[in-house]
Amino acid sequence: MRYSRKRTTKHQQKEIVYKVNEQIRVPEVRVIDDEGNMLGVMPTRQAISMAREKDLTLVEVSPKAQPPVTRLMNYGKLQYQKNRQAQKQRAQQKKTETKGIKMSVRIGRNDLNIRKEQAKKFLNEGHKVKIELNLRGREKQHKMLAAEILKNFVEEVRAEVEELAVEQPVQYKGNGFITIINKKP
């Protein structure tokens, strides 16, 4: 089986592609001028020549209508406005990363304090924190002890960080325990 190496993004917005001038292949179109007045149904060639006389572009606005609705407009200006609107939407999106902290059952007190400081730093920066405690070999027999260590760690972080929310409680997954914490908005 062949694997695709291309990266895909799930949440990409589909860009609307407008047909312009000669790309419009239907014989008749309904035309709206640049001021918004309805000019009526006319042959496509006549509408294109009318647009060229006014130094504008004939843009297909509603291709599914019968006949398709076109508009005389400055196409470059339309593209510019769409790009500006997309930039504003991207700027308004809140990006939160999930930072990870890994621990073990045999973690020392000093290492635990370092992990606690890391968690506080990540939370104050506005990130979520995923805390993993992996069990190896014979440690898997002491699941209750591991869960208790993780719960105590979350409580210690909660004592120092105000308004801490546990998004995902302590759960056993695979070969260890996982929890996700976040600062309340």
Average pLDDT score over residue span 133-148: 90
Average pLDDT score over residue span 5-9: 62
Q: Which helix (H) or strand (E) holds 97?
A: none
Last residue of a domain, one of 70, 92, 114: 92
Backbone angles phi, psi at 147, to 5 degrees: -65, -40
Residue 3 has pLDDT above 80, yes or no: no
Domain count, the chain: 2
Last residue of a domain, one of 51, 72, 92: 92
Same domain, residue pair 117 and 175: yes
Sheet of 69-73: strand order equals: 38-43, 28-32, 69-73, 57-62
Q: Are 70 and 24 in contact (CB under 8 A)?
A: yes
pTM: 0.52
Last residue of a domain, one of 69, 92, 115: 92
Q: Give me the domain span that covers residue 87.
A: 21-92
Same domain, residue pair 107 and 125: yes
Average pLDDT score over residue span 56-74: 89
* Percent of the chain predicted with pLDDT > 90: 32
pLDDT of residue 10: 56
Q: pLDDT tens-digit profile of 69-128? A: 999 988 888 889 888 988 888 888 777 788 999 999 998 999 999 999 999 999 988 889
Q: Which residue has the higher pLDDT, 11 or 92?
A: 92
Same domain, residue pair 77 and 107: no
Same domain, residue pair 105 and 176: yes
On whether residue 4 sits in a domain, the answer given is no
Same domain, residue pair 62 and 126: no
On whether residue 12 sits in a domain, the answer given is no
